[in-house]
Chain A
């Protein structure tokens, strides 16, 4: 057992650090540091910068253009990316549909979709949840009825993150209702959002932003070639995807960055107040989160090491989702508490690039409550934390 990096790993770390300092678009980092919302174009440029370096497919196999990195390299990359405050990659293409296509898709699908996903030339979104199917996802009602060489899709998907930017959507739809188990008869389909009958309606979330959507399908024609794998096996593919999603959901590197920044902030006087570091209660809460995060970091590293030795990321990755979101939410709450009164002004316009007025609060202080409110989603999405506990209970504890 050892905690230190090898010389090669240290050299890799320097390379990543240097890349973010010198070759990555500085204007995007500047926006991110100032709390200015990123545009669709910013996010694409960010990912393209990584792609140009060959670093977009972090978890992808080399044969499909992935990095082929070791778990430790991936860990170093995540830490350096967070420390440089580089925006997280949009997961729907690179982390979700990509792995499903290269694992279960046919050669034509791989050729057609993977290069565009890797290059961020096509923006993907996820169509899983429905208004009537949240935690009970297998109850989904969106139908895909075979009619000759295409499916006719009807139904509604919801909580579709950044669907307003998306070119394509991957969906789980029911292709067969005459099945013994509800999980059977569900298929994994790739749908071009510009197909007639697809419409996107915004859902404004608690903090006032347009981040998620409802996507409606009305007699949408989807070519049969857009079915991934076998008809009726979509549930299995979707579960694999969810495990990938959960493994990446812990957000350890981002949490370290945010906790470190919060500590720095606590050591400074804001508006002439005594620094928060003199507040024992606050510092104790900070320390509690730090311990939990350190434990989570090593739980994730242990999981990655197990994967590297040939085991798939299994149900135990559910632990990472639960703990990761708990830590994220605890940090959000601490930022909000640190801001005091100045967590409360609802002044999003001052974070627009063209804002010319007098801003309220220091730095991004007034965004802390909005971030807190927004991130209540974390323990709900990706399979709520209660669903994660059901999964662990059944598949790990055997109850």
Chain B
């Protein structure tokens, strides 16, 4: 039992802290989010140069050999900095599915360029009718001679606007919601028959709806056996966004306490009112409890214990409930300023809410725990 980071993790944490402090203030973030691509290609190159894009990959794949704890360190800090660059989409989702399912040749073609920051990629894990059920897949893949041809609809494809390579799970056999019969495919963004309808999301990120009509694709991994890799990738991503959320919660809590010490009404700082003090104590308690649960869930996953998946559901449920509460309280205690576009609080809040909505909301994960 040990709660301390090792030396490498401390160095990683330190380098991200320095970057956020020196090169990534809120205005910079907003500028990136509002730019044509929705992120800064320059900053993305910096991430690659500093090795952050290599964190969750094995040395064999050209990575840093990091595990859940290393990824937690990165994501928690990206949460604090409200980083908008597509780390989740490229590294955790697209990179995650490739590292698990792709052949050595495919990894050399794609994974290496993702880690190098040259290739933008995405994983199309959502279908419009599927809600949070990963196996609810109606997109089909059929053999046309030696080629595979895909047809169907994918929703909320993170980084869909910029991705040159999209990993698309599709059904090669079985019925809707069968875990068997799901295969993984690599689709080029410029393929014939692919329509990308991209859009910004409320949290300053961007995504796309994909329509596939007879799109040629390369299969990744064994036919009909893609679900396990898909599930494992989404699990890793879920834990990663929970770490991001814990970082966001801490910032929102700290900024709220600070604000309450400076905002004067009725001739006194509003932080002197007991009605508000107790609510801020609740925010602190929620933050500490969420952080404790995150550490537990991350360690359990690092140790690959039997309850690893339940642990992910536990922390995701927690983020979906108390995370949201911390966000709502932060906005409330900031008064009118809390609902302005100008203040960073509003944007932290939107990202926190977005995290609650993806990869299964609180109810979804509570049902898993209650089963």
A305–B2 Cα gap in the complex (Å)?
A: 8
A291, CB-defined interface residue at 8 Å: yes
For A386, the chain B residues whose CB sits under 8 A away are 278
Tell me how many residues of A have a C-beta within 8 Å of chain B. Answer: 39
Tell me how many residues of B have a C-beta within 8 Å of chain A. Answer: 40
- Chain A residue nearest in CB terms to B73: A1
Contact present for A299 and B277 (CB under 8 Å)? no
For A302, the chain B residues whose CB sits under 8 A away are 3, 292, 295
Contact present for B278 and A393 (CB under 8 Å)? yes
A3's contact among B289, B305, B314, by CB below 8 Å, is which? B305
A305–B367 Cα gap in the complex (Å)?
A: 33
Q: Determine which residue in A2, A3, A296, A398 has the highest number of CB atoms from chain B within 10 A of its CB, and name it.
A: A3
B274, CB-defined interface residue at 8 Å: yes
For B281, the chain A residues whose CB sits under 8 A away are 389, 392-393, 396-397
For A3, the chain B residues whose CB sits under 8 A away are 1, 296, 299-300, 302-303, 305
- Chain A residue nearest in CB terms to B277: A393
A288–B278 Cα gap in the complex (Å)?
A: 23
B366, CB-defined interface residue at 8 Å: yes
A235–B260 Cα gap in the complex (Å)?
A: 30
A72, CB-defined interface residue at 8 Å: yes
A283's contact among B278, B296, B370, by CB below 8 Å, is which? B370
- Do most interface residues of chain B lie in helix, strand or loop, or is the interface mixed? helix
Contact present for B370 and A399 (CB under 8 Å)? no
A397's contact among B4, B284, B300, B318, by CB below 8 Å, is which? B284
Q: Give A277-310 as 1s and 0s: 1 = Cβ < 8 Å from B's Cβ atoms.
A: 0001001101110111011111101100100000
A173, CB-defined interface residue at 8 Å: no
Q: Determine which residue in B260, B284, B292, B366 has the highest number of CB atoms from chain A within 10 A of its CB, and name it.
A: B292
B280, CB-defined interface residue at 8 Å: yes
A286–B272 Cα gap in the complex (Å)?
A: 37
Contact present for A295 and B293 (CB under 8 Å)? yes
A-B CB pair tally, cutoff 8 Å: 117
A242–B315 Cα gap in the complex (Å)?
A: 31
For A287, the chain B residues whose CB sits under 8 A away are 317, 366, 369-370
B271, CB-defined interface residue at 8 Å: yes
For B3, the chain A residues whose CB sits under 8 A away are 1, 301-302, 305
For A319, the chain B residues whose CB sits under 8 A away are 284-285, 288
Q: Give B249-283 as 1s and 0s: 1 = Cβ < 8 Å from A's Cβ atoms.
A: 00000000100110000000001101001101110
A5, CB-defined interface residue at 8 Å: yes
Q: Determine which residue in B271, B281, B305, B369 has the highest number of CB atoms from chain A within 10 A of its CB, and name it.
A: B281
- Do most interface residues of chain A lie in helix, strand or loop, or is the interface mixed? helix
Contact present for B274 and A390 (CB under 8 Å)? yes
Contact present for B288 and A2 (CB under 8 Å)? no
Contact present for B278 and A389 (CB under 8 Å)? yes
Contact present for B302 and A2 (CB under 8 Å)? yes
Contact present for B1 and A72 (CB under 8 Å)? yes
Contact present for B289 and A295 (CB under 8 Å)? yes
| A→B interface (CB under 8 Å) | 1-5, 9, 72, 75, 280, 283-284, 286-288, 290-292, 294-299, 301-302, 305, 316, 319, 322-323, 386, 389-390, 392-393, 396-399
Smallest CB separation, B264 vs chain A (Å): 14
For A75, the chain B residues whose CB sits under 8 A away are 1
Contacts A2-B2, A399-B257 given; does A323 touch B303 at CB 8 Å: no
Smallest CB separation, A321 vs chain B (Å): 11
26 pairs of residues in contact across A and B, judged by CB atoms under 8 Å: A2-B2, A2-B303, A3-B305, A4-B1, A75-B1, A283-B370, A283-B371, A290-B314, A294-B293, A295-B289, A295-B292, A299-B292, A301-B1, A302-B292, A316-B288, A323-B285, A389-B282, A392-B281, A393-B274, A393-B277, A393-B278, A393-B280, A396-B281, A396-B284, A399-B261, A399-B277
Contact present for B318 and A295 (CB under 8 Å)? yes
A91–B155 Cα gap in the complex (Å)?
A: 58
For B305, the chain A residues whose CB sits under 8 A away are 3
A389–B300 Cα gap in the complex (Å)?
A: 31
Contact present for A296 and B295 (CB under 8 Å)? no
